[in-house]
Structures are given as structure tokens and as C-alpha cells.
Amino acid sequence: MKGVMIQGTASDVGKSLIVTALCRMFANEGKKVVPFKSQNMSNNSYVTRDGKEIGRAQGIQAEAAKIEATVWMNPILLKPRSNQDSEIVYLGKSLKTLSGRGYRETFYEKGLDVIKKSLDRLSNEFELVVIEGAGSPVEINLKDRELVNMKVAELADVPVVLVADIDRGGVFASIVGTLELLEPEERQRVAGVIINKFRGDISLFEDGIDWLEKKTGIPVIGVLPYVENHMIDGEDSLSIDNHFSTRKKGTLDIAVIQLPFISNYSDLEPFLYEEDVSIRWVKHASDFGQPDAVIIPGTKSTMNDLKSIKDRKLDVLIQNHIENGGYIVGVCGGYQILGNEIIDEAGLDTGIPNRKEQGLGWIPATTIFYEEKETVRSAGVYHEHTGLSPDRKVEGFEIHLGKTILHKESCSFLLLENGNEEGYYGRNGQIIGTYLHHLFHNDDWRNTWLNLIRKRKGLHTKETTCIKEYKDKRYDDIAARMKEHLNVELLNDIIIKWCQK
């Protein structure tokens, strides 16, 4: 197989961004390139065109590679449901929920099999495979049954480039320590090192590069700069706290309730493109302030996160916010939380069949959790009763357990192409609930909603910001920036020579 694997000395060192940039760089060179990650652990997911669920990062990497995302790019997705258990999404479909121990003891052979099948399929369809690892390849307690790093490099038989994050400190120890802990045959597979997130004058690091190459015998093929506001959707939970930290303060203040089991926080990223919008996380009651709008995002455990909102007394602050005319949107689990009641009929969310919980009570609806999971791309138009322009298309994707039933005489938000009504639209848009992830990626809707808030504040309305073109340009910009700081000739040489061995 012709390809390369990007592994890291730790989580959040920038593997996903580097793979994304490499996919666009190779695609721009005319190569038929495909991303791959054998096993992903993330609640930030992506729905393929055929309604399958994969990790968000691989969906983004496919976009960067200018190809359609498929389940073969990420055959195993682990979605944490608690501190102990994760939902296993296998080839895009929910399979079962297992503990970490249960997964390691019962799933290893099945995982190996689907990884082999995926690699074979991709190698037959594409010219070049760029593989992403996970965490560190030297987690000693996990190495004997790992499915994400050196075992995958062995199955694909590709060289490995090791990425280290200099911004967090200890870069020399992290590289040398990782190499020392690898088995001799694994270490021989490491053909290059990338130093990521460098700030300042690169000439001051030349002695460090020389030392590393002499110490390890492995070339440093690039020292990549720290990329601020790269606008590429995040994946790792480590990135959530700082995801909006570099965003300048705008005149519109949007507060996002940070949930312990938050999922698909990529729903929020379009606001980074709006110059007058400030978006921030709310962890505690003291963080709430006086926002113009509140968003309750998706969650992998609605009842646990509803309890978290109540325990932190955020329900009282949300009530005051709405009573004072503030806007609020609940997406997926946030939609369920805003309703009157949640019934866990199948015991899938809590483990207790028929458990009931009172929601925040702002949407007249009851949610019932059934066993069947809904995963689908959806599109529609604004419901006629909203008073919004009925000819504007809205599209996104749904990933949820359960069904939300509106009480009589409630106004739905959307009329879907399949004829179903979806979501809730109340108080002229002040309160909205929907299952549609990536709602705010629709430029027209995002601008319509923000203009409602601007008018309430006595501000001028604004023209629509088109983020799709800007985002595609960011792929090109990041790829060009990487190419500037990467020894591309050496990287290509590593890939070709390994393939010829």
C-alpha cells in the first residue's frame, strides 16, 4: 500500500489538522488521496451521504481531499456515553455499548478484521492513503490489543511520521521517550519527525533539530507554525475548552452551555466566521452573565446532562434569560432538554427502563427514547407557520435516540423533504428546538437568526456571510502553509521508497 501514517507523542498534538492539510496538499498535486483512521473516540461525528456515522475529523479530511466521505475511512467510532462506557459504531451503524474492558476483551478480532477490509478497499480505490493514529503509540497498558497506531501501520505496511507538540513543552523528551518505548521493529518504521505548533523564530531551533537528528537517527521533515483560528472542525475532547478562546469579543454575545457529554460541538463553529459575534462556553453559573442568546448543544447522555444543568443552577439562569426576552436554541439533546418530559423507555440513556425526568419546560413536548437510533441527512424548508421565507432550503444531519412529540397547537420549525415536520419554533423565534445538526452551517438561516437578535439589540442587520467558500479556501491556505514549512520532497521520497521495499 502506498501511504504514510501520522502518529503523535500524545493526544491533541495536531495529527488531525496535519492529515487534513496533507490530504489537500496531495489533492492539489493531482493525487487521488484518501484519509483513514481505524478507530476514533469522539462524540463529534459526521454523517455520510448514505446516512452512516463516522468521526468528524475523517469527514473533514475527505472534504480536504475533494472526495466523498465513506465508512471505510473510519470503520470504528467509539462515542463515550459515560466515564466507563462507549457506544460502538461499526461501519457507520450503532452496534452495542461496552465498557473499556469489555471492548478490549471481546472486540479486538472483529476490529482487526474490519480494519483489514477497509485498508484493502481504500488501497484498491485510491492512489495514496494518509492514515491518522490516536493518542500515543506507547501506552504500555494498551499496546497488546491496540487498533489505532503501530498495529495499523503494520497492517497497511506504511512508514510512520511522528508528530510532537512543542507548544506544550518537553518536546525533546516526548520524542525520544516515545521512540525508546517502541519495540525495535516499530521504531524502524518511524521514518520522520514533525515538530508542530512552533512559535517565534525558527532559526533559534536549528540546534534542537540537529540534536534530535543525531540522537535519534531520524530526520526532522518539518517544523510547523502554530496556526491560530485554523477553522478546521475539532475532534479531541482536549480541544473543547480552548476552542473559542482566541475569538475576539463581538457585539453579539452567545453563551453555549458546556455539557459533560457534549457531542457535535462543530455545530457552533460557523459563528467564528461572524465578525460581530462573540461565542463562549458556560461551565458554571458564574460564567453565565447576560448573553443575547443561549445554545444548548447536543449530548451523548441527555438525562445526565439535564441533571448537570440543574445541579449547576443553570436552569434558573436560563429561565430568567428567556423571561427577559433572550433567545435560546436547543440542538438534538439540547432540544430534548428544553422539553417538558423525557422518558427513557428502553433504558438506553440511563440504564433504567421507563425512567422519567422533567425537562426545563420551555418547549411543549415529550421525548421518548426507543432502541432504534436515527442517523440520516435531512433537508427541508421553514414551516409556513414560522412566518419565515418558505423557499429557503435548510439542510443538515440527525444523530439521535428517541422521538420528540410536540403537544397540540405547537409550531414546528421545519417541513422536511420527506413530508415530516421537524423541531419547534416559538415566540417568533425566541425559542427554537431541532434535531438538525449543522443548522448554523446554513448561511441563510444563521444570518436570519442573528439578525433577529441584532434587531432586538437595536443594531443594524447584516448581509449573509458565506462560509463554505471561505472554509474551502482555508484548506488551501493551511496546505500551502504546511508545504512552506515541510520538506515535501523528503516526505514523498519516504513514501515511495517504503512502497518499493
User: Is 474 a residue whose pLDDT tops 60?
Assistant: yes
Whole-number pLDDT of residue 408: 82
Task: Please write down the HEC assignment for all residues of 456-474.
Answer: HCCCCCCCCCCHHHHHHHH
pLDDT (tens digit per residue) in 130-175: 999 999 999 998 888 899 999 999 999 999 999 999 998 999 999 9
362 is written with which cell numbers?
420551555
pLDDT (0 to 100) of residue 243: 53
Ramachandran area for residue 423 (φ above 0: left; ψ -120 to 50: alpha; else beta): left
Active site residue 437: yes
- What single string gives the DSSP state of each residue in 363-392? EEEEEEEEEEEEEEEEEEEE-GGGTS-TT-
The pLDDT value given to residue 244: 60
Average pLDDT over residues 392-411: 89
Give ∠ CA 308-349-347 in degrees, rounded to 5.
135
pLDDT of residue 233: 57
Residue 234, pLDDT score: 55
Residue 72's identity, in one-letter code, is: W
Vertex 309 angle, CA 308 and 315, to 5°: 155
Task: Note the pTM of the prediction, 2 decimals.
Answer: 0.81
| pLDDT at position 426 | 95
Residue 386 CA to residue 460 CA, distance in Å, equals 22
| DSSP string for residues in 2-44 | -EEEEEESSTTSSHHHHHHHHHHHHHHTT--EEEE-SEEE-S-
In sequence order, the 6+-apart residues with CB closer than 8 A to the CB of 500 are none
Per annotation, catalytic residue among 332, 383, 438, 441? 332
pLDDT at position 236: 47
* Average pLDDT over all residues of the chain: 91
pLDDT of 284 higher than 70: yes
Average pLDDT over residues 85-102: 86
Query: Among 400, 402, 430, which Cα is nearest to 413's?
Result: 430
Assess whether 332 carries a catalytic annotation.
Answer: yes
What number of other Cβ atoms are within 10 A of residue 421's Cβ?
16
Q: Which residues contact 211 (CB under 8 A, 6 or more apart)?
A: 172
Q: Is the pLDDT of residue 280 over 80?
A: yes
**28-37, 273-282, 312-321: which range is least confident on average?**
273-282
At residue 247, the pLDDT reads 54
pLDDT at 468: 78
Between 390 and 497, residue with greater pLDDT: 497
The residue-averaged pLDDT of 333-352 equals: 88
pLDDT at 238: 43
Helix, coil or strand: residue 400: strand
Catalytic residue (one of 321, 383, 400, 437): 437
Higher pLDDT: 264 or 150? It is 150
> How many whole angstroms from its chain centre is CA 387?
33
C-alpha to C-alpha distance for 86 and 79, rounded to whole angstroms: 5
Pairing assessment for the beta strands 220-225 and 160-165 based on DSSP bridges: unpaired
Element (H, E) at 183: none
- In angstroms, what CA-CA distances link 330 with 142, 436, 440? 38, 10, 12
